[in-house]
Amino acid sequence: MLSEISLNDKLPSFSLEATMLNKCSDADLLGSWSVLFLYPKDNTSGCTRETKEFNERHSDFEALGVRIFGLSKDTISSHISFSKKLNLQFPLLSDPQTQLIQNLNAWKEKSMYGKKYMGTERSTFLIDKKLSIKHIWRKVKVEGHVDQVLDKYKELNEGFG
């Protein structure tokens, strides 16, 4: 059992295939604030809505110097077509082995129609310039979530410019 990841923990190190970057590692997140949102599956209704909302607000995050990264266990080819379909302005990380997803304690037992299975719990991590996790959202509800993330970043950075 992995130890629970919590506030002020360092983002686990990783190196994954990604759209826009080919490879993305924890080192790529150093030096700027980042939002890493984990979602269950490309092209499903909730995941598409959440990804679209982050994309619609991309310029708001960019203006604050915050980078956005999406993460799921989908293959890189699935991510490429999902990214093109939504015209995404940020990279999607592919974690088919669920290594980073598990290290972030977001690989959970789920249940649908009475069947139990393992899947990604919709989660978001706000990460500072030194890769320290400054806020964690678990079991994310898509509605209003992107605003919550923006507001939390602003709250944590009041007076820092």
- Residue 47 appears among annotated catalytic residues: yes
How many whole angstroms separate alpha carbon 38 and alpha carbon 85? 19
CA 68 – CA 36 distance, rounded (Å): 6
* Lateral strand order in the sheet of 33-38: 22-25, 15-18, 92-94, 66-72, 33-38, 123-127, 133-137
What is d(CA 40, CA 12) in angstroms, rounded to the nearest whole number? Answer: 19
Through-space distance between the first and last CA atoms of the chain, rounded to whole angstroms: 40
Catalytic residue among 16, 29, 35, 47: 47
Each as own residue / partner, the long-range contacts of residues 2-5 (CB below 8 Å, 24 or more positions apart, any chain) are 2/102, 2/103, 2/105, 4/105, 5/103, 5/104, 5/105, 5/133, 5/136
Q: Which residues are catalytic?
A: 47
